[in-house]
Amino acid sequence: MLHTVNKSPFERNALDACLTRAVKGSAILLFEDAVYAATKDASTAQRVSNAAKDCKMYVLGPDLLARGFTVGQVLDGITVVGYDGFVDLVAEHGTVNAWL
């Protein structure tokens, strides 16, 4: 299953709602305002790094760059993908669970 999160972890609890319910081996894509959760220096880093040990985590590059962050500022263990990668993830996983 592919889980998607698009809300800032500082404003909503969608990220935690997702991280606490995604089973091991799931894929999780962070996009729009959720890309902040993928950045190294944010206070959410430890939580997200831990999740990346059990799930395959991705962040949408265009949304990251739009918000002033570079690929180098992304946490280890998170893969940066483009829109084509987003489509591939959806096609590959079939069921999408969008945590709004």
Partner 1 sequence: MPGIDEPDSESGVIKKFMFVNRKAPYGTIYALEVLEMVLISAAFEQDVHLAFVDDGVYQIKKGQDTKSIEMKSFLPTYRALEGYDVEKLYVEKESLDERGLTADDLVVPVEVIDRSAMAELINSMDVVLSG
- Residue numbers at the binding site for partner 1 (CB under 8 A): 6-8, 10-11, 32-33, 36, 39-43, 45, 61-63, 65-70, 82
| Paired residues of 29 in beta bridges | 4, 58
Kindly report the CA angle at 74 between 72 and 28, in degrees rounded to 5? 145
CB of 20 to partner 1, least distance (A): 21
Closest residue by Cα to residue 42 from 8, 4, 78: 8
CB of 73 to partner 1, least distance (A): 9
Closer Cβ to partner 1, 65 or 96, answer by number: 65
* Chain position carrying tokens 């890309």: 35
Closer Cβ to partner 1, 59 or 61, answer by number: 61
